[in-house]
Chain A
Amino acid sequence: MAEVKQKKEMRKPIETGAPDGFQYMHPTMRKNFGQWKWHDHPRPGVLRHAANSGDEIWTVRAGTQRILDVFTLRTLCDIGDKFADGFVRFTIRSNIEYMVKDASKVEPLIEALEKEGFVVGGTKNSVAMISHTQGWLHCDIPGTDASGVVKAMMDELIDEFKNNDMPNRVHMTTSCCQINCGGQGDIAINIQHTKPPKINHDLVSNVCERPSVVARCPVAAIRPAMVNGKASLEVDEKKCICCGACFPPCPPMQINDPEHSKLAIWVGGNHSNARSKPTFQKLVAAGIPNNPPRWPEATAIVKRILKKYKEDGKDWERINDWIERIGWPRFFELTELPFTKYHIDNWRGGRKTLNSSTYIRF
């Protein structure tokens, strides 16, 4: 009887899916939907879009800490109510954007945002906000933190976010494991494990569905085994590439290691089709210590790469375009990063990444 009553009280979900954004859109944007004509970029962090009707909408973009507490969220709303028209949106890189119809509102809005510690910028050829995920704050498999790395790096790159001094935009990402939730980037800072998982054989048979763990391994290095009389799994450590793919389905196969989980830096990932087809990021540095709370070693390398790109890149060249022009030997020379055997791809299809020509710059 009690069970029946319990069931009656459960509320059935309303399966509405993704809400219609139109109801939350600035009226000027609703009115001119699909009727925009051009945009320009009056100053860093500000975009002006003009419609066929003659209407204009001004956008002010600001970086935040991304993990927002409700106080900060309300502060952002207060600014929206007082200095903008009460309409906002968020970019794919978690910046907030305020849209206003009236150009005279732009400067007071910027002032209000900056007064509250938000950072206006992130448009056009700036270093955009680093896209990242959860890390130690919330993930179940992280090798490092995400928000902390981003905070530490953005502290150092803030001027590049606020200005437009780069040859083209720079999209950076961080990821706490090789699943790479942060995504491809012009510069990506990702965990790279360097030792095989440490297996707690007492737990494997209770926690893990062994066949799916075996199937998950990209190099078939895992096989079922009896260890100390218990059904468990073993890893062929010579084959293991330390990718950590076994860890999510089988937490007793601990891949994270305070010492041996390192950071690697990848460059040249570009999602856009502009000028050339989209590209994946390429390894440039690894073995970098995972060093909280400020990860200075990783930040130093990122800054070095950015400095050379800024000096040597031509207008509109993304990092991948820049390296395509100057060649990889010159990239390693300029950035003073070592080129090692690990840079040569030996994964399937990797041979296509080798130089099969006489194109060599001297």
Chain B
Amino acid sequence: MKKHDTPMLDELENGPWPSFISGIKKLRDTHPEKRINEMTNDLLGQLEHSYETRKGYWKGGTVSVYGYGGGIIPRFSEVGDAFPKSKEFHTLRVQPPAGNFYTTDILRKMADSWEKYGSGLVTFHGQTGNIMFIGSTSEATQHFFDEINEYGFDLGGAGPCVRTAMSCVGAGRCEMSNINEHKAHRLLVNNFIDDMHRPALPYKFKFKVSGCANDCMNSIERADMSIIGTWRDDIKIDQEEFKKYVDSKGRKHVIDNIVTRCPTNAISLNDDDTVTIDNKNCVKCMHCLNVIPKAFHPGDDKGATVLMGGKRTLKIGDLMGTVIVPFMKLETQEDWDKLVEIAEESIDFWADNALEHERCGEMIERIGLVNFLEGIGIEVDPNMVGNPRESSYFRGDGWDGEAVKWYERADAADKDSA
């Protein structure tokens, strides 16, 4: 095997950060399988060619496993004549366990399967949340999938479908957790497994689950449906721990870093170095809990806020998710069913009403939130807006009826809580 010269890539072997080029070269130079040596050699050759010419040379196509329509990112080389051994270099998107937990045993098992069929390159995880097994021929995708599918792993989403979901470490390790993030993750995505494996939706649809408003899964900005843990009773305060903190850091630090950073001015430092929180006005932003995790804790009446419609630029510009459910409990079977039902209603409505290649948020932007809410059977709530309408251009001849509905809902809520 003649090794390609890679003077530009070699530059990326210098410096203290671990080098992916050194890793690929290790596969080329020391892996016992000739197939892998040759494949990674040609991969390096093509990548060097990209570095020299500043252009990419992969094109898409159609590759799938038996029974599925998606889950594989097909890559055929446009310069395959020069780099024939990597001319088919597909990625298999494989769904990670909720919360991204692994044992070393299961990772070794995957490594063994992957080097049997693929290039030996893998990423935990891609930005879609999938394990990315990078570099398989068209034929090998089926064999590799069959093998890992037998021990519990399934392909993720690619194309216009429900995509692989993401959830944070959550209740597994984090005291800020307010819901069972992994249950929400699996319940939602596995309910739509047919919509994931057989892409037939207007465009992609993503679920992301974060256990608190720190939103480590970036769900408001990156998910079509975002589930974020929160609580609605009082924040829990350990006054002794708080006093200890004031004692060690000083009042100025506490005022500058906690009191004045509260977005709703809900924190008061008392004269005896204890703290008072105006719980009615606390918006559960998480800042004070982040600063003193020993003193502040989420309340007991935990649940989730659901937002809908986050996405990045294409086509109409960036959109954040907007609140469609200010608070819901996620404890009983009935609660979980309700969450799934909201997802089902939303996806059904979107699938029926979106234009081709239109994300859920873009559809909401086009038709207005109210039409979307009516479509999925959710009543309006002032928590859904930053502020009420500013434009006077609306036709309000249904006002009286809508006002009556508001009072009726308020009465019903009163009865419920009584």
Residue numbers of A with Cβ under 8 A of B are 10-25, 29-30, 33-34, 36-40, 49, 57, 59, 63-74, 76-77, 80-81, 86-92, 94, 96, 99, 117-119, 131-145, 147-148, 151-152, 154-156, 158, 176, 178-184, 212, 215-216, 218, 243, 245, 251, 256, 258-259, 261, 269, 271-276, 278, 280, 290, 292-294, 314-316, 347-349
Q: Are A251 and B165 in contact (CB under 8 A)?
A: no
Q: Whole-angstrom distance from the CB of B49 to the nearest CB of chain A?
A: 9
Known A-B contacts A18-B95, A33-B172, A138-B58; the reply to A65 vs B20 at CB < 8 A is yes
Q: Which of B114-122, B345-353, B371-379 contacts A (4 or more CB under 8 A)?
A: B114-122
Q: Are B18 and A215 in contact (CB under 8 A)?
A: no
Q: Are B285 and A275 in contact (CB under 8 A)?
A: yes
Q: Can you pick out 27 interface pairs between chain A and chain B where the beta carbons lie within 8 Å of each other?
A: A13-B154, A17-B193, A18-B190, A21-B98, A24-B103, A29-B172, A49-B175, A65-B19, A67-B23, A69-B24, A70-B31, A74-B108, A81-B104, A86-B105, A88-B107, A96-B124, A134-B134, A136-B51, A138-B73, A138-B134, A143-B56, A151-B15, A179-B313, A273-B220, A276-B285, A348-B317, A349-B317
Question: Bound state CA distance, A91 and B287, in angstroms?
Answer: 21
Partner of B51, one of A89, A148, A178, A212: A148
Partner of A118, one of B18, B54, B100, B186: B18
Q: Whole-angstrom distance from the CB of B199 to the nearest CB of chain A?
A: 14
Partner of B108, one of A77, A135, A142, A245: A77
Which residues between 234 and 263 of chain B lie within 8 Å of chain A, taking CB atoms? 253, 256-257, 261-263
Known A-B contacts A68-B23, A86-B105, A183-B127; the reply to A38 vs B293 at CB < 8 A is yes
Question: Bound state CA distance, A88 and B50, in angstroms?
Answer: 35
Output the nearest chain B residue to A49 by Cβ-Cβ distance.
Answer: B173
Which residues between 49 and 86 of chain B lie within 8 Å of chain A, taking CB atoms? 50-51, 53-60, 65-68, 73, 75
Known A-B contacts A40-B294, A92-B218, A178-B313; the reply to A16 vs B173 at CB < 8 A is no
Given contacts A65-B19, A259-B54, A272-B215, 12 further A-B contacts (CB under 8 A): A17-B190, A20-B98, A67-B20, A70-B27, A71-B23, A71-B27, A90-B100, A155-B15, A179-B312, A179-B314, A212-B357, A261-B54
Hey, which chain B residues are within 8 Å of A36, CB to CB? 171, 173-175, 177
Output the nearest chain B residue to A35 by Cβ-Cβ distance.
Answer: B171
Contact indicator per residue, chain B 329-366, by CB within 8 Å of chain A (1) or not (0): 00000000000000000000000000111000000000
Q: Are A274 and B127 in contact (CB under 8 A)?
A: no
Question: Bound state CA distance, A280 and B301, in angstroms?
Answer: 31
Question: Bound state CA distance, A350 and B59, in angstroms?
Answer: 35
Q: Are B103 and A212 in contact (CB under 8 A)?
A: no
Q: Are A15 and B102 in contact (CB under 8 A)?
A: no
Hey, which chain A residues are within 8 Å of B155, CB to CB? 13
Verify if B265 is at the interface (C-beta below 8 Å from A). Answer: no
Hey, which chain A residues are within 8 Å of B150, CB to CB? 14
Output the nearest chain A residue to B27 by Cβ-Cβ distance.
Answer: A69
Interface centre among B54, B128, B217 (most CB of A within 10 A): B54
Q: Are A65 and B18 in contact (CB under 8 A)?
A: yes
Q: Are A25 and B101 in contact (CB under 8 A)?
A: yes
Residue numbers of B with Cβ under 8 A of A are 8-9, 11-12, 14-24, 26-27, 30-31, 43, 47, 50-51, 53-60, 65-68, 73, 75, 89, 91, 95-108, 111, 114-115, 120-128, 134, 145-146, 149-150, 152-155, 164-166, 168-169, 171-175, 177, 180, 182, 185-186, 189-190, 193-194, 196-197, 213-222, 253, 256-257, 261-263, 283-287, 290-291, 293-294, 297, 312-318, 320, 355-357
Question: Bound state CA distance, A294 and B314, in angstroms?
Answer: 29
Output the nearest chain A residue to B17 by Cβ-Cβ distance.
Answer: A154
Hey, which chain B residues are within 8 Å of A24, CB to CB? 97, 101-103, 106
Q: Are A33 and B290 in contact (CB under 8 A)?
A: no
Hey, which chain A residues are within 8 Å of B220, CB to CB? 271, 273, 278
Closest 5 CB pairs of A and B: A155-B15, A258-B54, A17-B190, A21-B97, A136-B50
Q: Whole-angstrom distance from the CB of A184 to the nearest CB of chain B?
A: 5
Q: Whole-angstrom distance from the CB of B119 to the nearest CB of chain A?
A: 9
Question: Bound state CA distance, A70 and B150, in angstroms?
Answer: 20
Hey, which chain B residues are within 8 Å of A218, CB to CB? 314-316
Q: Are A19 and B50 in contact (CB under 8 A)?
A: no
Hey, which chain A residues are within 8 Å of B128, CB to CB? 181
Q: Are B27 and A37 in contact (CB under 8 A)?
A: no
Q: Whole-angstrom distance from the CB of B195 to the nearest CB of chain A?
A: 11
Q: Are A292 and B356 in contact (CB under 8 A)?
A: no
Q: Whole-angstrom distance from the CB of A298 to the nearest CB of chain B?
A: 14
Q: Whole-angstrom distance from the CB of A344 to the nearest CB of chain B?
A: 15
Hey, which chain A residues are within 8 Å of B18, CB to CB? 63-65, 72, 117-119
Partner of A151, one of B17, B98, B182: B17
Question: Bound state CA distance, A346 and B121, in angstroms?
Answer: 43
Hey, which chain A residues are within 8 Å of B153, CB to CB? 16, 19
Partner of B214, one of A87, A245, A273, A348: A273
Hey, which chain B residues are within 8 Å of A314, CB to CB? 256
Question: Bound state CA distance, A315 and B255, in angstroms?
Answer: 12
Hey, which chain A residues are within 8 Å of B175, CB to CB? 36-39, 49
Output the nearest chain B residue to A133 by Cβ-Cβ distance.
Answer: B127
Question: Bound state CA distance, A63 and B19, in angstroms?
Answer: 11
Q: Are A155 and B312 in contact (CB under 8 A)?
A: no
Q: Are B315 and A17 in contact (CB under 8 A)?
A: no
Q: Whole-angstrom distance from the CB of B247 to the nearest CB of chain A?
A: 16
Q: Whole-angstrom distance from the CB of A21 to the nearest CB of chain B?
A: 4
Q: Are B290 and A11 in contact (CB under 8 A)?
A: no
Known A-B contacts A18-B190, A275-B261, A293-B9; the reply to A216 vs B75 at CB < 8 A is no
Q: Whole-angstrom distance from the CB of A93 to the nearest CB of chain B?
A: 10
Known A-B contacts A99-B173, A151-B19, A292-B8; the reply to A18 vs B97 at CB < 8 A is yes
Q: Are A292 and B313 in contact (CB under 8 A)?
A: no
Hey, which chain B residues are within 8 Å of A132, CB to CB? 127
Q: Are A66 and B356 in contact (CB under 8 A)?
A: no
